[in-house]
Amino acid sequence: MAVWFLRGLRRGVITTRYPKAIDSWTASLPTPPAFDARRLTPAVADRLVDVCPSGALIRDYEWLVLDLGACTACGRCIAVSRGVARSSGAFELSTTERGRLIKRIRLRDDVR
Partner 1 sequence: MQSLFGRSLHIRTIDTGSCAVCESEIRLLAAPHYDLHRLGFFFTPSPRHADLLLVTGPAVRAFDQAVKKTYLAMPEPKIVVAVGACPLGGVYSEDAFVHGSLEEVLPVDVFIPGCPPSPLALLQGLLVAVGRLAEKVDALSFVDDEAGTGEW
Partner 2 sequence: MSREIEASRYRANDGVEYLRVGMAEVEGVVEDMTKAGTRLADLFGSMEDEELVIRLVYGREPEPSYAVVQWPVRGGGYPPLSEVAPAAFVEECEIYEQFGLKCSGAKGLNRLVVPPHAAPDFPRLAHRPGRQAPPPHAPHYVTGEAIEFPVGPVRGVGQESLYMGLVTSGEELIDLYLMVWHKHRGIERRLQQLRPQQALFLVERAEGLSAVGNSWAFCRAVESITDVMVPEAVERTRAVALEFERIYNHAASLAALCQATSLTVGQAQAEVALEELLRLNAAAFGHRYLFGVLAPGGVTRGPDVGVIRERFTMAVDELRRVAAALRSTNSFMDRVEVCGVVSIDDARRLGLVGPVARGSGQDLDTRRDHPYGAYRDCRVEVPVRTAGDCLARMEVILAEVETSAALVTELVQAGLRAGSVDLPPAAGAALGWCESPRGESLVWVSLDREGRIRRARLRPASARNWRAFDDAARSRNVFTDIPIIEASFWLTVAGFAR
List interacting residues with partner 1 (CB under 8 A): 14-16, 18-19, 22-23, 26, 29, 32-39, 54-56, 66-74, 86, 88, 90-96, 98, 100-101, 103, 105-106
Q: How far is the CB of 2 from partner 1 (least distance, A)?
A: 19
Taking CB under 8 A as the criterion, the residue among 74, 93, 101, 102 binding partner 2 is: 74
| Closest CB to partner 1 among residues 24, 47 | 24
> What is the b/e burial string over 4-42, where b = at least 16 CB atoms within 10 angstroms of the residue's CB?
eeeeeeeeeeeeeeeeeeeeeeeeeeebbbbbeeeebee
Closest approach, Cβ 18 to partner 2, in A, equals 13
Minimum distance from residue 15 beta carbon to partner 1 (Å): 5
User: Are the C-beta atoms of residues 57 and 75 closer than 8 Å to each other?
Assistant: no
**Whole-number Å distance between alpha carbons of 11 and 2:** 14
Residue 58: φ, ψ to 5°: -135, 140
Q: Which of 99, 77, 87, 81 is nearest to 26 (CA)?
A: 87
20 binds, among partner 2, partner 1, none (CB under 5 to 8 A by kind): none
Per rule CB under 8 A, is residue 7 in the interface with partner 2? yes
